[in-house]
């Protein structure tokens, strides 16, 4: 991604980013955003103190901006890597900071460029400890006129030099005058308040004044926690000022050490409230069992006992706070039946979506209160649709349908500028549906009642036709229940050999002369120089059948027929034949390798035969979805899977699942 130019002298190198100036210019943000990004980078480098200095010149303008930290600094090699890449960072693959294990604030790999929104010339002067224990000093210089070029000067640091980084920005722009405003610390608190509360070992100072999360808090309460396992456990609940709520604050419960350091965030199973709150549960139990906190209620005792007591105290506190004006108004809409949501949110994405809806609806409440029940219900439903489908259209809905005044619309636009839910909602909806689909498929295959009744062709095949992503996101359905000769026709069409489609093909049969039918045929195109075509043929057996030599022989006959028929020939074509069932006998299990691959039978061309269980396929699907699931904190249980089946595939369910009764967790 980067290349080094010739050295200017022994310890100076030039790093050139392989991009265009216009692309980087387009990404530059605001002046304050640039300062905030420098502070975030310092905190991610495990700084204990970050100080922002804004120096005025003789005319009262901003002469320079300096961000000084005592973090880990940059070695020359780290500087060459960091400044030679754009939108790439070591933080993208990391979960926490390197030394203090803090939550990471930046992952985009372009934060250093935001400094050029503050001024034209930026210098990073950094002292760090190298791998051999020696101190190195690295100075990186950049100019907005050449955003793609940085000079990196490295040399041994003076003995005793303090480790850390100072970023100096000069050539400041006129808009940097805003950095002299008295409310800047409060605005920085709005960006970093929740982080500073989670990590009390971090301190940010702005022009000599500590950035205090209390600047954006409405109130802080310490409700009592009845935890026999730790009588010293303390719960702190913070309510944020809605207009200045920290961007990294959401409804969540942080499990903390006694000194307030956040060790783990709980986001599922939380009590719901319309208030913008964040809670912190401090206990020595959590510090002593930090490695097990991710299991939450499944962790060894006494972690679950203290967590359960904290959640009970939190629920009681939020219930007592439900008499706030906004909460009362939302409750009144629920009581009259105009509030468009019928159940509490189930995950972080739904909570964010619901929070946005509530904020927008409350912003429009002066107008909504003046309408009758029918008009109010219609307006709230339209707002929900806009939030779910396209948050960017909320302003138009409020202006044209609800009739919100211009000044209120400006407030809303500021809210939406801080919200990027549309892409999140779309990707989360797809991921949630797929997780629910997996749960539903698992129930179809392993629930005792369903397993006995499930019909192979009429139900399981039809389900998989619509859920072909289970076999790979890149595959597309080519055919279901098609004969080998029809498979040839579709193969030729996928190859673009349209001139052969009009000719009469020789019927394709297995060695016994029979024209077999393929359960599912899927195809993908792999671009590798010249495009390669991959076909996947899936033979599905009912859940109650244990795969044996008879079923393996059947799938190998398909492979034999295709590999011996010249009509299927293609230089860049690969075939994958997969036999799938719930279980296999010992003969079959001993005849395949760890990936389910059978020994190659005779034939030409590139192909293989595999035998897999549904457990293996479901595990592979979950692995593909795990990053999105954990990032969006989505959960899917048996009830969610059943709901998905009954909603999306009502005519493909066995009698055991088609009613309203629940089933036990699938194995």
The Cα 100–Cα 329 span in angstroms is 43
Instruction: Tell whether the model's pLDDT for residue 476 goes beyond 90.
Output: no
Give the pair of three-digit tokens for residue 406: 């211009």
Amino acid 7: pLDDT: 38
Instruction: Tell whether the model's pLDDT for residue 449 goes beyond 70.
Output: yes
Amino acid 107: pLDDT: 57
Q: Which of 256-270, 402-416, 457-471 has the lowest mean pLDDT?
A: 402-416
State mean pLDDT over 253-274.
Answer: 82
DSSP, res 215: G
Q: Which residues fall within 8 angstroms of residue 496, CB to CB, at 6 or more apart?
A: none
Pairing label, strands 49-56, 203-206: parallel
Position 16 confidence tier, pLDDT thresholds 50, 70, 90: confident
Instruction: Tell whether the model's pLDDT for residue 399 goes beyond 60.
Output: no
The 3-state DSSP composition of the chain as helix, strand, coil percent (nearest 5) reads: 45, 25, 35
Q: Which residues fall within 8 angstroms of residue 253, CB to CB, at 6 or more apart?
A: 265, 266, 267, 270, 279, 280, 281, 310, 311, 314
The Cα 645–Cα 654 span in angstroms is 11
Interval 594-626: pLDDT, tens: 888 887 655 556 678 999 998 888 888 888 777
The Cα 82–Cα 304 span in angstroms is 42
pTM score, two decimals? 0.45
Amino acid 666: pLDDT: 42
Q: Looking up tokens 């039978």, which residue turns up?
A: 601
295 or 665, greater pLDDT: 295
Give the pair of three-digit tokens for residue 267: 């986001």
Q: Between the CA of residue 397 and those of 300, 385, 393, 394, what are the distances in Å?
A: 50, 10, 6, 5
540 or 516, greater pLDDT: 540
Interval 147-202: pLDDT, tens: 888 899 999 999 889 999 999 999 988 888 889 888 788 778 867 777 888 888 89
Amino acid 15: pLDDT: 76
Interval 86-125: pLDDT, tens: 666 666 667 788 888 887 876 555 667 788 889 999 999 9
Give the pair of three-digit tokens for residue 351: 């909570």
356 or 230, greater pLDDT: 230
With beta carbons less than 8 A apart as the criterion, state whether 72 and 126 touch.
no
Q: Which of 77-86, 572-581, 624-633 ranks highest by mean pLDDT?
A: 572-581
Amino acid 534: pLDDT: 82
Position 224 confidence tier, pLDDT thresholds 50, 70, 90: very high
The Cα 545–Cα 547 span in angstroms is 6
With beta carbons less than 8 A apart as the criterion, state whether 71 and 45 touch.
yes
Q: Which residues fall within 8 angstroms of residue 129, CB to CB, at 6 or more apart?
A: 72, 73, 135, 136, 163
Amino acid 143: pLDDT: 92
State mean pLDDT over 508-525.
Answer: 77
DSSP 60-128: SSEEEEEEEE-S----HHHHHHHHT-SS--GGGS-SB-TTT-PBPS--SS-HHHHGGGTEEEEEEEEEE
With beta carbons less than 8 A apart as the criterion, state whether 130 and 113 touch.
no
With beta carbons less than 8 A apart as the criterion, state whether 555 and 612 touch.
no
Amino acid 235: pLDDT: 95
Q: Looking at 211-323, which runs of residues are DSSP E strands?
A: 217-221, 234-240, 253-256, 262-266, 277-282
Q: Looking up tokens 């940085």, which residue turns up?
A: 150
DSSP 12-29: EEEEEESS-HHHHHHH--
Interval 28-74: pLDDT, tens: 778 888 898 899 899 999 999 999 999 988 888 899 999 999 999 99
Q: Between the CA of residue 351 and those of 111, 263, 271, 322, 347, what are the distances in Å?
A: 28, 22, 11, 17, 6
667, containing H or E segment: none
Give the pair of three-digit tokens for residue 49: 């103190």
Q: Looking at 570-652, which runs of residues are DSSP E strands?
A: 573-581, 583-584, 606-613
| Omega prior to 581 cis, within 30 of 0 | no
With beta carbons less than 8 A apart as the criterion, state whether 199 and 96 touch.
no
Q: How far is CA 612 from the centre of its chain?
A: 30
Interval 526-557: pLDDT, tens: 654 445 678 888 898 888 889 999 999 888 88
With beta carbons less than 8 A apart as the criterion, state whether 664 and 639 touch.
no
189, containing H or E segment: helix 184-198
Q: Between the CA of residue 529 and those of 526, 572, 655, what are the distances in Å?
A: 9, 11, 50
Q: Give, in degrees to the nearest 5, the angle at Cα 235 between 231 and 237.
A: 165
**Which residues lie across from 665 on neighbouring strands?**
none
State mean pLDDT over 378-393.
Answer: 71
Amino acid 408: pLDDT: 52
Q: Which of 379-388, 553-562, 617-626 has the lowest mean pLDDT?
A: 379-388
Work out the burial of residue 19: count CB atoms within 10 Å of its CB; fewer than 13 is exposed, 13-18 middle, 19 or more buried.
Answer: middle
């Amino acid at each position: 991604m980067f290349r080094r130019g010739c050295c200017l002298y022994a310890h100076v190198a030039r790093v050139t980013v392989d991009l265009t100036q216009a692309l980087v210019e387009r990404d530059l943000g605001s002046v304050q955003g640039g300062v905030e990004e420098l502070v975030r980078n310092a905190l991610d480098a495990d700084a204990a103190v970050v100080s922002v200095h804004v120096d005025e010149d003789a005319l009262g303008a901003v002469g320079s901006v300096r961000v000084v930290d005592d973090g880990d600094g940059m070695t020359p090699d780290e500087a060459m890597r960091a400044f030679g890449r754009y939108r790439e960072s070591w933080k993208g693959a990391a979960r926490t900071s390197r030394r203090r294990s803090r939550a990471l604030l930046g992952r985009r790999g372009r934060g250093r460029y935001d400094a050029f929104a503050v001024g034209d010339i930026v210098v990073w002067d950094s002292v760090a400890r190298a791998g051999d224990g020696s101190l190195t000093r690295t100075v990186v210089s950049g100019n907005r006129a050449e955003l793609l070029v940085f000079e990196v000067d490295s040399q041994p640091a003076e003995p005793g030099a303090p480790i850390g980084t100072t970023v100096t920005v000069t050539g400041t722009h006129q808009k940097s005058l805003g950095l002299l405003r008295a409310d800047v610390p409060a605005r920085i608190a709005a960006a970093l308040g929740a982080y500073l509360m989670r990590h009390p070992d971090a301190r940010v100072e702005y022009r000599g004044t500590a950035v205090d999360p209390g600047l954006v808090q409405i109130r802080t309460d310490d409700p009592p926690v009845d935890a026999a396992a730790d009588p010293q456990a303390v719960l702190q609940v913070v309510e944020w000022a809605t207009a200045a709520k920290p961007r990294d604050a959401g409804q969540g419960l942080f499990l903390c050490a006694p000194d307030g350091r956040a060790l783990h965030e709980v986001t599922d199973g939380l009590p719901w409230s319309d208030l913008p709150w964040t809670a912190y549960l401090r206990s020595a139990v959590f510090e002593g069992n930090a490695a097990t906190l991710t299991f939450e209620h499944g962790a060894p005792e006494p972690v679950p006992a203290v967590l359960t007591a904290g959640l009970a105290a939190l629920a009681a506190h939020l219930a007592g706070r439900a008499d706030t004006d906004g909460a009362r108004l939302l409750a009144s809409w629920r009581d009259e039946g105009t509030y468009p949501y019928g159940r509490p949110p189930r995950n972080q994405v739904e909570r964010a979506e619901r929070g946005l809806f509530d904020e927008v609806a409350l912003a429009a409440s002066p107008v909504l209160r003046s309408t009758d029940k029918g008009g109010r219900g219609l307006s709230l439903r339209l707002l929900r649709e806009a939030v779910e489908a396209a948050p960017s259209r909320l302003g138009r809905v409020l202006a044209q349908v609800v009739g919100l005044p211009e000044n209120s619309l400006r407030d809303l636009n500021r809210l939406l500028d801080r919200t990027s839910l549309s892409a999140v909602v779309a990707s989360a909806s797809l991921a949630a549906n797929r997780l629910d689909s997996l749960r539903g498929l698992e129930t179809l295959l392993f629930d005792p009642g369903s397993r006995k009744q499930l019909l192979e062709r009429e139900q399981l095949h039809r389900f998989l036709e619509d859920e072909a992503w289970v076999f790979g996101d890149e595959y597309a359905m080519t055919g279901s229940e098609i004969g080998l000769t029809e498979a040839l026709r579709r193969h030729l069409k996928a190859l673009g050999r349209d001139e052969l489609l009009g000719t009469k093909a020789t019927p394709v049969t297995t060695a016994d002369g029979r024209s077999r039918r393929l359960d599912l045929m899927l195809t993908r195109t792999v671009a590798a120089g010249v495009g390669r075509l991959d076909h996947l043929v899936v033979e599905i057996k009912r859940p109650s059948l244990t795969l044996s030599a008879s079923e393996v022989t059947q799938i190998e006959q398909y492979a034999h027929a295709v590999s011996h028929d010249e009509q299927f020939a293609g230089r860049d074509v690969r075939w994958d034949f997969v036999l799938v069932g719930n279980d296999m006998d010992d003969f079959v299990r001993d005849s395949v390798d760890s990936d389910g691959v059978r020994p190659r039978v005779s034939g030409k061309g590139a192909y293989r035969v595999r035998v897999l269980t549904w457990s293996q396929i479901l595990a592979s699907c979950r692995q593909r979805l795990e990053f999105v699931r954990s990032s969006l904190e989505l959960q899917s249980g048996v009830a969610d899977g059943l709901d998905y089946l009954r909603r999306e595939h009502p005519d493909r369910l066995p009698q055991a699942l088609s009613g309203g009764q629940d089933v036990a967790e699938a194995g």
